[in-house]
Amino acid sequence: MSKEHPDITKMTLVCDHSGCGWTQDTSPEDASEWHKKPCPKCENGEIIDDDDLAQLNMVLCLSLFQQAIDPEGKLERGSLKLDTATNSVEIKG
Does residue 14 touch Zn ion according to CB under 5 A? Answer: no
Restricted to residues 24-63, the positions that interact with Zn ion (CB under 5 A) are 39, 41-42
State in angstroms the smallest separation of the CB of 45 from Zn ion.
7
17 binds Zn ion (CB under 5 A): yes
Shortest Cβ 34–Zn ion spacing (Å): 12
Alpha carbon distance 21, 3 (integer Å): 29
Q: How far is the CB of 26 from Zn ion (least distance, A)?
A: 15
| Site membership for Zn ion, residue 15 (CB under 5 A) | yes
Stretch that binds Zn ion, among 9-17, 24-32, 71-79, 85-93 (CB under 5 A): 9-17
Three-state secondary structure along the chain?
Answer: CCCCCHHHHCEEEECCCCCCCCEEEECHHHHHHHECCCCCCCCCCCCECHHHHHHHHHHHHHHHHHHHHCCCCCCCCCEEEEECCCCEEEEEC
Residues near Zn ion, by CB under 5 A:
15, 17, 20, 22, 39, 41-42
